[in-house]
Amino acid sequence: MTMTQHGTVLYSQPQHPLIEYTTEKGLSLNSVSDILFDKQGFLWLATDGLQRFDGYRFQTFKNDPADKKSIPDNYVSGLYEDAQENLWISHRKGLAFKPKRKLEFTDIIPPPELAAFKAANRCVGETDSTVLVINYNEGFYSVNKTTLQVRRISTISEFFGKEGFFELTRPHFGNKNIWLRRRSGKAGDIFLVTPAGLKRFANNRHISLYFIIPDINDSLVIVPTSRFLNRWPEIHLQRSGFYRNLSMRQISIMNMLPVQERSATTGI
């Protein structure tokens, strides 16, 4: 049964009756911060604690001071499943790790010099060996999937100064690239988060960027201003060099349209 979040109501597919789930039917709280379907078919909810829904009942995970394998904090804000089907849980005090097919949790403990990692953060991507984490107060980190060792990639101020950044993507699963822009720079350059640091791409056309659909088959779909509601520019990326050669063509939401123009310059 496919379900989506709509406020505090979960809807089943149209051919099934509408089912509303509240605290009276098992929810920890009548609000949800994040939602994720894992590869095994379970629905995970970030709320007051962490909840798993199997289509029939909720299972709730909360912190138990007497149990070192319980979830570290009850205020859960974000969820991410990596390619190995491990679950990464963002909470008020940092990040927790749940191995595949195990109902136990490990709090990610950074070394003393990276204590700033223990703050509001979110897992946003991965490589074969690490997950990539944004700490909204300080910077960008990687966490080794096996050793759970934390490493700083770069600080926020290094690329975005005091104004901070705006997320152009919100992936919940692996193999998705993470794109950012400056908070005030809607038509400015874009940045790709990588384990080696942030890579900057020139927005030569000064397109106002509001959302990016993570690239699939070496392409990006960029959603600009609302005037492009029925027609989006699609940016094709050639995988070569620090900057990638880009070409543009107009597409509709459902149907491909003829090529309108092409650019041989580097940048958007």
| Pairwise CA distance, residues 13 & 5, whole Å | 12
pLDDT in tens, the chain (268 residues): 344 444 445 544 556 677 788 888 888 988 899 999 999 999 999 999 999 999 899 999 999 999 999 999 999 999 999 999 999 999 988 999 999 999 999 999 999 999 888 887 888 888 889 999 988 878 899 999 999 999 999 888 888 888 888 888 876 665 567 888 888 888 888 888 888 888 888 887 777 787 776 655 555 666 665 454 444 444 433 333 222 333 333 322 222 222 233 233 335 5
Give SS3 for 146: coil
Element of type H or E holding 104 = none
The pair of three-digit structure tokens given for residue 143, joined into one six-digit string: 């966490």
pTM for the whole structure: 0.72
Beta bridge partners of 43: 37, 53
Q: How many residues does the chain have?
A: 268
Q: Which helix (H) or strand (E) holds 160?
A: helix 156-160
Q: Domain 1-107 falls in which CATH fold?
A: Thrombin, subunit H (2.40.10)
Nearest Cα residue to 28 out of 13, 50, 10, 6: 50
Measured CA to CA, the distance from residue 235 to residue 240 in angstroms comes to 15
Contact yes or no for 239/228 (Cβ under 8 A): no
